[in-house]
Structure 1
Amino acid sequence: MAAIFNMFRVKMGVVIARICLLLMLAVYSSYGGGCNFPEGWTGGWFQSGIPGLIYINSTTMQGKGDCAETDSNDKFLVYDRNEDCYRCLVIHEKHKYVLQYKETYCRERDSLSTMCESITGDAALYSMFRKEPRPIPEPCPFHPAPFTFTYSRGSGDCANPPSRAESCTDDSRLLLRYMACPDVPGTESNVEELICLATWKEGSTRYLVGLISQVQRRNSISTDEDMYRCFVYKGQHADKTVTYTIAQSGDATCNGLTSSVDGSRTMKLTNIDDEHNRCHFPSWVVEHHKWFSLDHTHQYHFTTKNATLKIMNEDGSFEEKRLVCHSILEQKDKQFVKLVAHLTRGCESGHVCVSVWRRGGGVLELQLGAALHDAPHHACSTGHSAPHVTLLSTSLYPMRCPMLGRYTVVDSLADRRRRRQQLTIDEATGEEVAEKPVECVMGHYDSASVGCGAAQDTIVFQSACTSAVYTCYGSWREGNLGLVVAGAARPSSRPHALCFLYTNYIANDSSGTAVQYLSLSGVSRSCDRAVLPGLAGDKAYNLTLNGTCEQSSKYNSVAVRLYPALVVLLIPLAILAR
């Protein structure tokens, strides 16, 4: 009997527990937790007039309440625990970064439809802009920049002098240069930067939400209330002219914006024809759309229309430089071009002088002016003393090397450094004593040959334990200075090479015999004319010419006494293959 009673008591306990659980779930459902907000809304949002951010998770909107019921569309019934009441929120996602909503007063619960029907058409509309996670800007809808524009704050159009809108390297930014008009009150010179965050369309009306920052007052403290602005815009295209009318909100909301000609501030942008459509980089320059600097710090990319060059860091991030061909001044036999380009660096822009040389198969040299000029005709009017940048394509074509011949290495910078490192101080005498030399040293070679293969396109250095092979990809002379670009025999998707600079001269050796010398330096960053051949570098070799590639070493040992010797100082500064 006791066993039966205990079994009955256990079953009753289970039933009571289930009833309690159902009651708890019913209560929980009635006070929130009965629905979820869309997953894409999770994060922190800014709303004008609300201190701090409004955080939304799957079930709760901070400051509004817990999601209790939804029609799976845009209507949400939320329960406010603090006030113990319900309100209807009608929320529209205009963009993944923009939410707009209307709401009812908080009161006793009624059906979702009944409560939401009480929202009138003229009820206050609130806008929320995503702050966390940090939004990624999107390209501004106003193109092609630059533009001139007029603007008004309600006291008349400021048209003379015209203001100017310029693009930045990042397409999501636009620089607005406002001019002051003496005859229009309330106008002033100012520079603002617009970062475009979100665009959407409602019927025929187009909206933009962006951040406005003061360029000339970078150190001033700007709040979200100061920076967030809403815009309504409309574009008109006619022949080569593009015009945009834009209305801007006066605060960090989209309230009151209904057309592109009615706002706290209105603007009319008209594009400037800078003749870019009539200027293109020559075909031999854009033969390869992607180029790498010799030191591999930058990547140069020509667009498919051959009018724009973008310069990026090697890791893919923008270095804030973009060049658009403006006008070609000079061309020579598909080997040289001099032109004026419009350069954008960050949000700065102006005209610069550009010179490009073709140095070989897949090798270019670029000289880019540093100063920005407002007028195109001023860009190349002064001396062009900018440094040369050596560019390599991923398709390098071997070429015949200069300085053909076979050489014997008689001395090297590596040897001298090794000897200095091997000197020790004798503790007894205090004098330097040389240690036993190392038999094989990396970078130390016994012989070299230049252009001695069938194609005459390789430079080979050899010793008993190691060798190095370079392929010549381009060579040229500038007066007494010779230059050679040589690199790995099999270039990778990121080619590596050195630039060798050399000069010839005649001097007397220790016996008074006139000897012809060839001084050569190799640099890894570019063909830097400031490098004096033979006087700088990490590695250097003195080589004596044994004769032509066809002559044997044995024969050349005699020929050296009959013909002037060539001593070559070689300084490569980079590891060519990685």
Structure 2
Amino acid sequence: MSAILNFVRVGVNDLVVRGLLLLVLTVYSSYGGGCTFPESWTGSWFQSGYPGLIAINSTHIQSKGECAETESSDKFLLYDRSDDSYRCMVIHEKHKYVLQYKESPSWSKDSLSTICEQISGDAPLYSMFRKEPRPIPQPCPFHPAPFTFTYNRGTGDCTNPPSRAEACTDDSRLLLRYMACPDVPGTESNVEELVCLATWKEGSTRYLVGQISQVRRNSIVSDEDTYRCFIYKGQHSDKTMTYNIAQSGDATCNGVSSPTDGSRIMKLTNSDDEHNRCHFPSWIVDHHKWFSLDHQHQYHFTTKNATLKIMNGDTLVEEKRLVCHSILEQKDRKHIKLVAHVTRGCESGHVCLKFYHRAAGVLELQQGAGLWESPDDACAHHDALPYITLITTSLTPSRCPIFGRYSIVSSLADRRRRRQQTTIGDPESHEAASECFQGSYESASFNCGASQDTIEFKSHCLTTVYTCYGSWTEGNLGFVVAAPGARAPRPDTFCFVYRVSSSNDTGALAAGGGALALSAVRRACARGVTPGAGGDRAYNLTVNGTCEQSSKYNSEATRLTSTVVLILFALACR
């Protein structure tokens, strides 16, 4: 600075002085005139023992000071204006959600290297865990679950009865079921949920930071109670996977030095590789992706045809995960009964599943309502279970099981859906259109098109055509999966439940004779629906004849009309 003043005194051009001043200030800044922290550090952080959260922005760390100088990307000189002091912080980013640092005592103005030398080798290591923006959990590194495990809290190994660790539908969560060992003091039955937030590796040592919470306990907990640091090591053999895990006793990474040294140590051993138990048959997994009839749920078969994931159809959030455990019955490509291990959230157990092959691209599923700890209990109950109708996105049209033309005697239509149907004609006004939508269909024809795979409903101003995609019968009931138009099934796919009767009660389904009661159901091919009286839409119909008869009558009427026109034309020309 004195050199600049001397230049000024001797009358150096003002522009030169300003340029030199800018140059000097720039150099000065690089040696302690300011610096910035990595952008990824900006946010709010939790640190054990600190009240509230620590805010970090590009130039300041709350309660520490502003960045004055930096060196080698991890050493920072911070200036605290409140007491006009400096401190050195050596900060390491272990993970985008975890910062660890050591710091010097407050110091008067000096070089960064001099102040950093004040950090002793045994200086405390502090850990900060990101709170805001809210971290996104990551998959836990312990797999394949479930595991049995033993644990030790410093009073001896709790091995009998063994504890159990179970996976959740979310891979970032693990449920730890601790058992109490009568011969080990200080052990108790308890259930904890671990949410995995960050993992990193230092040499051969692997670290995990997560949050634990007590399941089924309503006590209010703080971040001090939930954040924990873990060191773990996995060992793989031909049939098993074992993890040794040490857990910190507080919300720091202090007190854990190896996988076998911590406030609590655990040894996890995978208890059962469920994926090797059984597999879903080929007639199910030939299509890996299925949808419920209303497209509200997606059924996705993965992991070598042994795992079924049930997901919300809109968000694709996983709701349940089912792993084939054992097959109890199997009949060719028509029916299978099996036990599956199901995980729902962090709940798990065994459930009974029954699959039925109804048509190409159409399945039905019955799923037990309860979760059973023992697989032997899952299918031991004979409750009446509802049917879930599953379809693929690659269905091909198939012949409808009913034939002929019918008059609709009465109907119970779902008028809310009428506005989404295809309208023919040209209504003059909104009032006319509303009147049309609110009217009932007058007739229906089945398999009368050239492709013999359609159901057509008609009124004086409205025509709706459904394409059939599969059908079957049970006793005197028939079921048809159909959707409007000729495109692949959509969320407005229906199951038509019907009953046909005739005067002689023979050949009704084939000939279409007598009366027909029909109901349309959106969600599934429900067995409790009375055809013609229940469901989303219901129709009672009487036969008008076969498609061929109707075509014959229409042809004769056309010929008769043409003849009359010709005669009248001839008379007019006389």
Task: Specify which of 447, 464, 478 is matched with residue 468 of structure 1.
Answer: 464
Normalising by structure 2, we get a TM-score of 0.85
Is residue 395–residue 469 contact of structure 2 (8 Å, CA) maintained in 1?
yes
Deviation at 1:494, TM superposition (A): 4.7
What is the aligned-residue identity percentage? 71
Name the structure 1 match of 2:567: none
Q: Quote the Cα distance in structure 2 between the aligned partners of 1:270 and 1:527.
A: 44
Task: Specify which of 536, 540, 544 is matched with residue 542 of structure 2.
Answer: 544
- Total equivalences in the alignment: 524
Summarize the Cα distance change of 1:62–1:34 in structure 2 as closer, same or farther, 3 Å threshold.
same
Q: Quote the Cα distance in structure 2 between the aligned partners of 1:74 and 1:439.
A: 76
**Structure 1 residue 500 corresponds to structure 2 residue 475:** no
Bigger helix share: 2
Is residue 298–residue 316 contact of structure 2 (8 Å, CA) maintained in 1?
no
Name the structure 2 match of 1:53: 53
**Structure 1 residue 519 corresponds to structure 2 residue 547:** no
Most deviating of 317-326 and 347-356: 317-326
Question: 1:117-169: CA deviations, max 9, x gaps?
Answer: 33222111000000000000000000000000000011100000100000000
- Tell me which amino acid in the other structure corresponds to 1:398: P
Name the structure 2 match of 1:428: none
Task: Specify which of 438, 442, 448 is matched with residue 444 of structure 2.
Answer: 448
Name the structure 1 match of 2:401: 402
Name the structure 1 match of 2:37: 37
Name the structure 2 match of 1:96: 96
- Tell me which amino acid in the other structure corresponds to 2:480: V
Name the structure 1 match of 2:353: 354
Summarize the Cα distance change of 1:493–1:64 in structure 2 as closer, same or farther, 3 Å threshold.
farther
Deviation at 1:73, TM superposition (A): 1.6
Name the structure 2 match of 1:512: none
Is residue 149–residue 165 contact of structure 1 (8 Å, CA) maintained in 2?
yes
- Tell me which amino acid in the other structure corresponds to 1:109: K
Deviation at 1:320, TM superposition (A): 2.8
Deviation at 1:411, TM superposition (A): 4.0
**Structure 1 residue 327 corresponds to structure 2 residue 344:** no
Name the structure 2 match of 1:367: 366
Summarize the Cα distance change of 1:275–1:47 in structure 2 as closer, same or farther, 3 Å threshold.
closer
Summarize the Cα distance change of 1:233–1:178 in structure 2 as closer, same or farther, 3 Å threshold.
same
Is residue 105–residue 118 contact of structure 2 (8 Å, CA) maintained in 1?
no
- Tell me which amino acid in the other structure corresponds to 1:406: R
Q: Quote the Cα distance in structure 2 between the aligned partners of 1:415 and 1:96.
A: 54
Name structure 2 gaps, 5 residues minimum: 1-10, 417-430, 505-512, 557-574
> Alignment partner of 2:86: what SS?
strand
Name the structure 2 match of 1:291: 290
Q: Quote the Cα distance in structure 2 between the aligned partners of 1:492 and 1:554.
A: 33
Is residue 234–residue 244 contact of structure 2 (8 Å, CA) maintained in 1?
yes
Q: Quote the Cα distance in structure 1 between the aligned partners of 2:415 and 2:61.
A: 74
Equivalence map 1:178-197=2 (5 Å): 178-197=178-197
Question: 1:184-241: CA deviations, max 9, x gaps?
Answer: 0000000000000000000000000000000020x21010000000000010011111
Name the structure 2 match of 1:566: none
Deviation at 1:115, TM superposition (A): 2.0
Equivalence map 1:122-141=2 (5 Å): 122-141=122-141
Summarize the Cα distance change of 1:154–1:460 in structure 2 as closer, same or farther, 3 Å threshold.
same
Is residue 328–residue 339 contact of structure 1 (8 Å, CA) maintained in 2?
yes
Q: Quote the Cα distance in structure 2 between the aligned partners of 1:504 and 1:384.
A: 29
Summarize the Cα distance change of 1:255–1:458 in structure 2 as closer, same or farther, 3 Å threshold.
same
Question: 1:538-568: CA deviations, max 9, x gaps?
Answer: 544333212222112674999xxxxxxxxxx
Is residue 388–residue 528 contact of structure 1 (8 Å, CA) maintained in 2?
yes
Deviation at 1:525, TM superposition (A): 1.0
> Alignment partner of 2:224: what SS?
helix
Equivalence map 1:132-171=2 (5 Å): 132-171=132-171
Name the structure 2 match of 1:272: 271
Is residue 466–residue 486 contact of structure 2 (8 Å, CA) maintained in 1?
no
Q: Quote the Cα distance in structure 1 between the aligned partners of 2:24 and 2:220.
A: 50
Q: Quote the Cα distance in structure 2 between the aligned partners of 1:531 and 1:175.
A: 41
Q: Quote the Cα distance in structure 2 between the aligned partners of 1:226 and 1:527.
A: 50
Is residue 323–residue 341 contact of structure 1 (8 Å, CA) maintained in 2?
yes
Deviation at 1:466, TM superposition (A): 2.6
Summarize the Cα distance change of 1:317–1:33 in structure 2 as closer, same or farther, 3 Å threshold.
farther
RMSD: 3.1
Q: Quote the Cα distance in structure 1 between the aligned partners of 2:470 and 2:26.
A: 82
Name structure 1 gaps, 5 residues minimum: 1-10, 418-434, 509-514, 559-578
Q: Quote the Cα distance in structure 1 between the aligned partners of 2:43 and 2:489.
A: 41
Name the structure 1 match of 2:337: 338
Is residue 396–residue 491 contact of structure 1 (8 Å, CA) maintained in 2?
no
> Alignment partner of 1:94: what SS?
strand
Most deviating of 398-407 and 227-236: 398-407
- Tell me which amino acid in the other structure corresponds to 2:124: A
Task: Specify which of 518, 529, 532 is matched with residue 531 of structure 1.
Answer: 529
Name the structure 2 match of 1:567: none
> Alignment partner of 2:325: what SS?
strand
Name the structure 1 match of 2:559: none
Deviation at 1:300, TM superposition (A): 1.2
Question: 1:376-434: CA deviations, max 9, x gaps?
Answer: 111111114221111111101212111111123344345999xxxxxxxxxxxxxxxxx
Q: Quote the Cα distance in structure 2 between the aligned partners of 1:121 and 1:239.
A: 43
- Tell me which amino acid in the other structure corresponds to 2:66: D
Is residue 521–residue 536 contact of structure 2 (8 Å, CA) maintained in 1?
no
> Alignment partner of 1:403: what SS?
coil
Summarize the Cα distance change of 1:276–1:83 in structure 2 as closer, same or farther, 3 Å threshold.
same
Q: Quote the Cα distance in structure 2 between the aligned partners of 1:381 and 1:414.
A: 41
Normalising by structure 1, we get a TM-score of 0.84
Most deviating of 394-403 and 95-104: 394-403
Summarize the Cα distance change of 1:436–1:211 in structure 2 as closer, same or farther, 3 Å threshold.
closer
Is residue 515–residue 540 contact of structure 2 (8 Å, CA) maintained in 1?
no
Deviation at 1:370, TM superposition (A): 1.2
Deviation at 1:71, TM superposition (A): 1.4
Summarize the Cα distance change of 1:393–1:76 in structure 2 as closer, same or farther, 3 Å threshold.
same
Is residue 516–residue 541 contact of structure 2 (8 Å, CA) maintained in 1?
no
Q: Quote the Cα distance in structure 2 between the aligned partners of 1:445 and 1:535.
A: 16
Q: Quote the Cα distance in structure 2 between the aligned partners of 1:494 and 1:229.
A: 47
Deviation at 1:21, TM superposition (A): 8.5
Most deviating of 186-195 and 12-21: 12-21
Equivalence map 1:242-261=2 (5 Å): 242-261=241-260
> Alignment partner of 1:285: what SS?
helix
> Alignment partner of 1:284: what SS?
helix
Q: Quote the Cα distance in structure 2 between the aligned partners of 1:308 and 1:494.
A: 25
Is residue 393–residue 495 contact of structure 1 (8 Å, CA) maintained in 2?
no
> Alignment partner of 1:550: what SS?
helix
Deviation at 1:106, TM superposition (A): 1.1
Name the structure 2 match of 1:478: 474
